């Protein structure tokens, strides 16, 4: 998906909502079988219920890969159920030596046709370069994440520069605002403002809203731009808004609530 198409959806829906399809079979609601078939039924219901409010969907591959070929098929059918006007993210966090990354890129961009993939930059330029070779596809690079362990490496300083800042500086020279986003956790509100000032034209994928404690207001106040500039991901708070047969209606209500919080900024 081209940048212009994503921005058009954001403005049309007055939303920067990304729904995370981190579907846990053990948490499927009442009336949905705890099987691969049940996961797909659940995903389709969630997509149908939330597509009015969401501009993006993020499929976390880890929740499908344990089931082997059937899990990959479920992922593919889930991807196919997402409306064409929504931006799709393979949350795979790949990153390896060049020839291996080339295969990862072909898997998610060529064979499965995701719009984007999350990547881990630790191995450097040659590990990410293959992902940048695909036209109208996006690399979403981990930068400053919302988990507790982000303290272990990401904020360490060398020559008065934090590691995540070095990562962003380097990676931004390999891509551009047309094909590169960064992952910035919603629980890092103070950092978000400074990062936005340093990167005014890039999109940020922002997880951590809802269950993890981040808020739409914090993200929008510190990082929203006139073109949108963020995709705010919510997963568990939408997926598991209800454990009963009304799960899809509850998911729609939660997605609408988040979208309405975003709409006041447009």
Which of 72-81, 204-213, 218-227 has the least mean pLDDT?
Answer: 204-213
pLDDT of 228-265, one tens digit each? 999 999 999 999 999 999 999 999 999 999 999 999 99
pLDDT of 130-151, one tens digit each? 999 999 999 999 999 988 898 8
Query: Tell me, what's the pLDDT at 173?
Result: 97
Q: What is the pLDDT confidence band of residue 25, given thresholds at 50, 70 and 90?
A: very high
Q: What is the pLDDT confidence band of residue 46, given thresholds at 50, 70 and 90?
A: very high
Task: Specify the fold of 3-263.
Answer: TIM Barrel (3.20.20)
- CB-based burial label for 239 (10 Å; 0-12, 13-18, 19+): buried
Query: Tell me, what's the pLDDT at 123?
Result: 96
Q: What is the pLDDT confidence band of residue 197, given thresholds at 50, 70 and 90?
A: very high
Task: Identify the sign of the CA torsion 52, 58, 62, 66.
Answer: positive
Domain ranges of the chain: 3-263
How far apart CA 206 and CA 215 sit, in angstroms, is: 10
Annotation marks residue 93 as catalytic: yes
pLDDT of 35-44, one tens digit each? 999 999 999 9
Nearest to 19 by CA among 257, 255, 224: 255
| Global confidence as pTM | 0.96
How far apart CA 18 and CA 20 sit, in angstroms, is: 6
Query: Tell me, what's the pLDDT at 210?
Result: 66
Pairing between strand 138-144 and 203-206? Answer: unpaired
* Among 44, 93, 129, 217, the one annotated catalytic: 93
Query: Tell me, what's the pLDDT at 188?
Result: 74
Which of 73-77, 96-100, 111-115 has the least mean pLDDT?
Answer: 96-100
């Amino acid at each position: 998906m081209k940048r212009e198409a994503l921005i058009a959806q954001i403005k049309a829906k007055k939303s920067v909502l990304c729904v995370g399809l981190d579907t846990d079979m053990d948490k499927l609601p009442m009336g949905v079988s705890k099987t691969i078939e049940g996961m797909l039924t659940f995903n389709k219901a969630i997509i149908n219920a939330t597509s009015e409010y969401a501009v993006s969907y993020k499929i976390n591959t880890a929740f499908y890969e344990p089931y082997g070929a059937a899990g990959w098929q479920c992922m593919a059918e889930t991807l196919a159920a997402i409306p064409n006007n929504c931006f799709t993210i393979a949350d795979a966090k790949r990153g390896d030596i060049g020839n291996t990354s080339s295969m990862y890129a072909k898997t998610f961009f060529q064979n499965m046709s995701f719009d984007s993939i999350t990547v881990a930059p630790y191995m450097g330029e040659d590990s990410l370069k293959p992902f940048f070779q695909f036209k109208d596809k996006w690399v979403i690079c981990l930068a400053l994440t919302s988990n507790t362990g982000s303290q272990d490496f990401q904020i360490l300083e060398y020559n008065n520069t934090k590691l995540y800042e070095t990562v962003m500086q380097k990676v931004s020279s390999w891509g551009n605002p047309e094909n590169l986003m960064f992952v910035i956790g919603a629980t890092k509100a103070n950092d978000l403002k400074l990062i936005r000032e340093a990167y005014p034209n890039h999109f940020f994928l922002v997880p951590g809203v809802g269950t993890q404690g981040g808020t739409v207001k914090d993200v929008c106040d510190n990082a929203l731009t006139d073109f949108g500039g963020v995709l705010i991901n919510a997963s568990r708070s939408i997926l598991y808004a209800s454990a009963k047969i009304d799960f899809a209606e509850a998911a729609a209500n939660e997605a609408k609530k988040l979208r309405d919080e975003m709409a006041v900024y447009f």
